[in-house]
Structure 1
């Protein structure tokens, strides 16, 4: 039986609790699990049997969330972890080694730019930042030490849409996995695996949970990449000493990356999602399609109004006919361009600060994807650590404000924007 998205977002991965009949997935708030006997314990530790050992590795509540996200993304498996940033490190962990690099888009969330340009150097890894609209430049940046290509489907903060089929073609030609951060779009609006992605990462903190309560991350494995083909991914294709020489790619096939991320990644990095966070996210996903439809509808109304406002210099929403990326919406995000975009204000930095301080319904926070409408001046906050050139490349120049459109009445949000823009411009 093939089910639709709305059915899967409620039911995928979940069954009534066999012990109690509870219909909602219980929060299994436990650290450890009793083994049937010594042989059972040995089989679990040898990866000869799937089951629960210790909640740093696996937990029944988290397992339901993993299966649900994998199903919605069309992946073979998924691993949940403590945050979106943790998901990015875990996605790279089995692929990279000292001296290796990843080719990444210049249009990324500021924290990701910092993680890739600074923090991963501590592992001996490096990142090459390229304009992903220039396919020749992406191809030229790939060398013998490149181990992955990374981008966002709908980029934070500007709502820029990546030409995923084209980028996937470049990655495929080089024999490399394409990793796509699908946080801003969610699987309801964009299906990166169907467009050629190998791995999909999420900050589940955002739209998947949808209510601003818990942090979390997820890595979805397409199950379609041949990790043994090139010899570039020894963690996946070569004998693993910790498991008596087991070869993940050979033993687990399409689930090789998923099993490695649990058996090695979560075991040694410990970036574990707690079961209560998983529970909140499961509840959020149950209404994902309904929320995303409203997010998109409101975003279209607000962006259309803002584009005509005399105090606004530019609006970056790809859902506007005037956007240079409007043509990509039909291919990459056929159900809508999301609800995240930026506006450039006449009056520059000072006007942005006054505008943000004058808003009443919009919450000034470092988050996105909430039911509430959110705003932030990226250049003075989330992208503050970047150079002016990096800020401009990421779509977070000093005269730019990021807007995450929520689920309120659009007319009320427009009225709030109107009064704040008037104050910002005297």
Structure 2
């Protein structure tokens, strides 16, 4: 079974917790002890209904205590697919948390309260989804029961959001009217909205084609581990283990190792302990080369006729995640896939307002949750693609050299 990672985003009280709870409840993905616990906590409700929002209420408790709120991950599966939900807080002060949850998401569910329509937070979440290049967007118009399941209200929201999507260049957008509280169009189609002809939310999540998002045209293989057993049986064995993040590799392909630029030919490919003629993303394999070349962890093996960029100066869009401000000249560790190098932030070109996309030129520093465009200088060359061309090889993180905490998420421009 394949896996779908998706993030939910919405304004406060748009019903994110209830939506996730309803998905888990109606797909029968809640453990019996969990169900009994929330039934006890819901016993004072007048209508006797279970409060499904309690399934993700840990975040609410954290918020009331004033402690750091992290992304909460929920896992469930159906007979057709496995799912990981990243439940990110919607407040602007938690922009870094949404970036964290969305960084490897295949799909974003953007909730809109049918009573309020498209609001400022809707635009901000859409901007972040656009910046992070999330391939699929579901606009879930929630609380349709509060507007008498009105098709006119739904259509007006579609018109408003279509303008936002066009401005941001968002594609692959699907709209679903629903009521998370009552379960309309969550798992099963609702007979209260006969005018809606599309699938329910779960049907859409099961059927959306994420394998089409894998780039098979640009071959990238970051080396994670060099295997040299040096035993009597495997005296000459030298394999390069890692995950193919994009493209296809075949036995006999001409390849180049970056950043060194040394070329060779693929002698053999191991997959699951067996030799195969070809392998493709996102498979984990061991590559063997014809020549005894110098290859280390963090190097990228790419087809010789389709090379990544290799430079020491990067232009990045960066979300700052640390309580300590980022000041030009500060030094960090930069990690792209398995490559880790020392780096320094040379200058900050502008700060981006994630509500309006307006740019504040030449800020003196970046503070928690700021999104900036910056220049980073690395101590040694790194191989990369721009984030817009190849997301899996265009993202990087900045790490504090002392605490080893991740302080910044970078999208290479």
Instruction: Give the TM-score normalised by the residue count of structure 2.
Output: 0.25
Higher helix share: 1
The structure, 1 or 2, with the larger RCO (C-alpha pairs under 8 Å, 6+ apart) is 1
